[in-house]
Amino acid sequence: MIYIAATGMLNALGNDSQQIAAHLKQGKAPGMQRCQGWLSSGRACWLGRVEGALPPIPAALRAHNTRNNQLLLAALAQIRPALDAAITRYGASRVAIVLGTSTSGVDEGDEQIRGSQPDYHYQMQELGDPSRFLAHYLRLDGPAYTISTACSSSARAIISGERLIAAGLADVALVGGADSLSRMPINGFDSLASLSERRCAPFSRDRDGISIGEGAALMLLTREPQPLALLGAGESSDAWHMSAPHPEGEGAERAMRMALQRASLQPAQIGYINLHGTATPLNDQMEAGVIQRLFSNRVPCSSTKHLTGHTLGAAGICEAALSTLILQENLPLPAQDFSEAAQDETLPDFGLLLRPQALQRPVIASNSFAFGGNNTCLILGRVS
């Protein structure tokens, strides 16, 4: 079994676990705001922003000076004692780094084209830069690479870290990811008519798309027993469509069934499901059907993207980290918010939470589905 030794995160809910826990209980996200200046059309849009100052990139690593990497440093600071202890114990060559991202330093590339990025280096926007940066920053020489499979990227980073440890290629793995706000994906989703005109409202009747967010999270995976563990993981690639999910969710269901099988669990043993729940018409309809088919309405579930925004390549780790926080702190399960948009009553009864409630079984599944039919499901739980 692979255990979770430490978790650090920041997103629109807050800049550390304490802030995030407090705002998650309140169902409020200070960083979810209506913003100007991002869309080429001149319209405003809702975005999930990380507020406040971020750690600076050291001058010696200025070729990696991106907001993405600053977000990673902020998450890293929260778990640095546990990581340093692992490096001391196992050595710099036995610590792997696997990260997921969709944007890397693309926004810095955009600023360079616009003439407002004075110290630009092309490698800033390479997808491999986040893991390369952390390896240089931490002076590690174990396996280090970045995965970019759109919205499942950082969930796959977790799965890859687990495999590296299981294969004996590393003793511990620093896994996670980051994505920062960038004009390119924001306008890209707008061109697909997938960007919401308001704060996104997953599973609502008039849902009209996502709200993009930024954030980062890191987990330290280990063989050494800890209170929390990665109980199982599932993945699939149905390749149904470039941007639309399979209408029956065949690949999504395969990923969930694989995760349950690898965790040796039955559906009724799951205590909560953090849904992918993007608030696009097709995703929510597909996911509701799959959850009803596999879990009936017996397992409480909700999406937290109305509180963080869709953090794209960082979504998998951000939502897995929220799940571990719920498990660690015994937080109430977050309800779906229909205060500004009515629930879609045409969807099947699939256990959607309409009010917060206590976690009854200390096991949480977290779904992440991506463009191209790239699907993941992680099952995390308390083991002691």
Collapsing DSSP to helix, strand or coil, 352 comes out as strand
Q: Please, which residues have CB within 8 angstroms of residue 298's CB and are 6 or more apart in sequence?
A: 267, 268, 351
Residue 213's DSSP bridge partners are: 48
Residue 310: both structure tokens together: 């869709």
Q: Which residues of 259-272 are buried (b: 16+ CB within 10 A; e: fewer)?
A: bbeebebebeebbb
d(CA 362, CA 269): 9
DSSP string over 224-251:
S--SEEEEEEEEEE----SSS--TT-HH
| Active-site residue list | 151, 276, 310
CA 117 to chain centre: 28
CB-based contact 171:92 (threshold 8 Å): no
- What is the distance between the alpha carbons of residues 146 and 166, in angstroms, rounded to a whole number? 19
Contacts of 341 (CB under 8 A, 6+ apart): 198, 201, 204, 205, 206, 207
Pair 134, 74: CB distance under 8 Å: no
Residue 266 and residue 242: Cα distance in Å, rounded? Answer: 32
Contact 99, 154 (CB under 8 A): yes
- CA proximity to 159, closest of 178, 142, 141, 177: 177
Give the pairing type, strands 2-10 and 215-222.
Answer: antiparallel
- Taking the mean position of all CA atoms in its chain, how far away is CA 284? 17
| 198 DSSP assignment | S
Which residues does residue 217 pair with via DSSP β-bridges, in sequence order?
9, 177
> In sequence order, what are the residues at sequence separation of 6 or more whose Cβ sits closer than 8 angstroms to the Cβ of residue 114?
none
